[in-house]
């Protein structure tokens, strides 16, 4: 077996192509767009590289690509959390031996950058795809949620990695009938705090995005593993999601005219992407344009409340109004998540909405010796 750094366009193409070969015939894996993957992995195109570094590795046996991994370090993470973390991500392997060799290569690279702990899968931060799927292999994952085979867990644990944190996802079928208690909390917030929710104003997209930036980094700053998104990273994500955004599904909660919470729900574009098999041309664009208006499933990706307004009923109010918008458009199923396993307040809120926990992704970690 030979493990080498990705060294040029052909290697990068092989890195991007490997999952297509590993998951060929798997009905639950949704191929990302090749063009999007190239952007994610290229310095100068992905704003992660303004504060982070990464190296990509390919494993070959007899000239055949049998695995891949990315190793990365993030100065923003280290500054916020006061540690030297190295991460592995974009991880695919055809066997346990391949997995062990790739993880060793990633560990060696991040140790050379001063890392004292390795965590993953992270591609490249918790604001991106993260976690290893450990249950729910019989279902496709929604937009921006990773998929992998059931063998990966054993391979990673055999390499000395242990659980750092589980990430929960939930599913909720329509109609979105909320409990009486949930509705009462939302109604109380409207009466007592004067909470008003409103949809995203696409005509003022730049101003609305500035509100999202402010609320997002304030609401999540104490979460495990969280790294504030830079302006460039939020702009980049907004550009990617904007074609799929439905204004009624992106809602702000205001108190006295000030936005203090927001909710982001997007149609599950993966349902339209699946037939495209990673390519927009020659027929992928047709599948995407034809499929998008017909989507009736989605993912609640984020719901954030600034600290001083927590426990005032803003979250139930946002969810209640989102449910009305989803019912109005005929949505039949929603994925909610991910959430941290020990975020009891949020997880209870989700269950009170009528959702059930359906999928778990796991973050792993391993101390790195001198």
When pLDDT is cut at 50, 70 and 90, the band that residue 275 belongs to is low
* Phi, psi (degrees; rounded to nearest 5) at 137: -70, -15
CA distance 195 to 156: 46
pLDDT for 10: 96
Do 150 and 291 lie in one domain? The reply is: no
CATH number of the domain residue 74 falls in: 3.40.630.30
Residue 370 included in any domain: no
* Mean pLDDT value across residues 172-197: 81
**Residue that is last in its domain, among 133, 167, 201:** 167
Count CB atoms within 10 A of the CB of residue 293.
Answer: 8
**Residue that is last in its domain, among 152, 167, 182:** 167
Do 226 and 149 lie in one domain? The reply is: no
Greatest mean pLDDT among 5-9, 244-248, 274-278, 315-319: 5-9
Spatial CB neighbours of 206, under 8 Å, sequence gap ≥ 6: none
Do 124 and 245 lie in one domain? The reply is: no
CA distance 194 to 255: 6
> Three-state DSSP class for 132?
strand
Residue 365 included in any domain: no
Q: How far is CA 130 from the centre of its chain?
A: 6
Do 140 and 244 lie in one domain? The reply is: no
The residue behind tokens 């570094």 is: 53
Do 211 and 337 lie in one domain? The reply is: yes
Q: How far is CA 284 from the centre of its chain?
A: 23
pLDDT for 286: 45
282 has a pLDDT exceeding 50:
no
Do 43 and 189 lie in one domain? The reply is: no
pLDDT by residue (tens digit) across 76-133? 999 999 999 999 999 999 999 999 999 999 999 999 999 999 999 999 999 999 999 9
Residue 368 included in any domain: no
pLDDT by residue (tens digit) across 212-245? 999 998 888 888 999 999 999 999 988 888 888 8
- β-pair partners for 253: 197, 261
CA distance 345 to 350: 9
Cα torsion 150, 13, 47, 204: sign: negative
pLDDT for 279: 55
* Mean pLDDT value across residues 248-270: 91
> H or E segment at 197?
strand 196-199
Do 218 and 352 lie in one domain? The reply is: yes
Cα torsion 367, 338, 241, 81: sign: negative
Do 32 and 177 lie in one domain? The reply is: no
> H or E segment at 322?
helix 314-328
Greatest mean pLDDT among 41-50, 202-211, 293-302, 339-348: 41-50
CA distance 236 to 73: 20
When pLDDT is cut at 50, 70 and 90, the band that residue 278 belongs to is low
CA atoms within 13 A on the CB side of 235: 9
pLDDT for 261: 93
The boundaries of the domain holding residue 352 are 172-360
pLDDT for 102: 98
**Residue that is last in its domain, among 167, 190, 208:** 167
Q: Which one is predicted more confidently, 283 or 210?
A: 210
* Mean pLDDT value across residues 350-357: 88
CA distance 241 to 234: 10
When pLDDT is cut at 50, 70 and 90, the band that residue 283 belongs to is very low
Do 235 and 311 lie in one domain? The reply is: yes
330, two tokens: 């005929």
CA distance 232 to 213: 10
Model pTM?
Answer: 0.92
Do 224 and 327 lie in one domain? The reply is: yes
169 has a pLDDT exceeding 90:
yes
281 has a pLDDT exceeding 60:
no
CA distance 161 to 320: 40
% pLDDT > 90, the chain: 64
Residue 366 included in any domain: no
């Amino acid at each position: 077996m030979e493990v080498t750094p990705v060294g040029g366009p052909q290697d990068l193409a092989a890195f991007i192509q490997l999952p297509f070969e590993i998951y060929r015939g798997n009905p639950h894996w949704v191929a990302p767009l090749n063009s999007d993957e190239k952007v994610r992995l290229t310095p100068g195109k992905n704003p992660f590289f303004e504060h982070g570094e990464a190296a990509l590795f390919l494993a070959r046996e007899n000239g055949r690509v049998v695995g891949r991994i990315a190793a990365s370090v993030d100065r923003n993470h280290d500054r916020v959390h006061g540690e030297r973390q190295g991460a592995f991500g974009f991880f695919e392997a055809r066997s346990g031996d391949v997995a062990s060799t790739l993880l060793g290569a990633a560990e060696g690279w991040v140790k050379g950058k001063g890392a004292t702990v390795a965590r993953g899968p992270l591609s490249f931060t918790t604001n991106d795809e993260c976690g290893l799927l450990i249950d729910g292999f019989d279902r496709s994952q929604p937009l921006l949620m990773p998929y992998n085979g059931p063998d990966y867990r054993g391979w990673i644990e055999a390499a000395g990695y242990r659980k750092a944190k589980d990430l929960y996802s939930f599913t909720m079928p329509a109609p979105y009938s909320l409990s009486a208690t949930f509705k009462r909390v939302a109604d109380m917030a409207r009466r007592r705090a004067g909470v008003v929710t409103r949809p995203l104003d696409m005509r003022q997209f730049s101003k609305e995005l500035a509100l999202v930036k402010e609320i997002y980094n304030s609401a999540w700053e104490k979460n495990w593993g969280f790294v504030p998104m830079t302006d460039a990273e939020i702009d980049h994500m907004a550009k990617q999601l904007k074609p799929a955004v439905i204004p009624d599904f992106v809602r702000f909660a205001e108190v006295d005219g000030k936005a203090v919470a927001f909710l982001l729900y997007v149609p599950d574009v993966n349902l339209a992407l699946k037939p495209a098999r990673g390519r927009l041309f020659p027929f992928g664009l047709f599948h995407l344009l034809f499929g998008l208006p017909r989507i009736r499933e989605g993912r609640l990706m984020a719901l954030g409340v600034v600290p001083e307004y927590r426990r005032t009923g803003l979250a139930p109010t946002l969810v209640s109004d989102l449910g009305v918008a989803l019912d109005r458009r005929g949505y039949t199923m929603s994925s909610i998540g991910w959430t941290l396993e020990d975020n009891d307040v949020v997880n209870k809120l989700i269950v009170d909405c009528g959702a059930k926990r359906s999928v778990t992704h796991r973050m792993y970690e391993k101390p790195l010796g001198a």
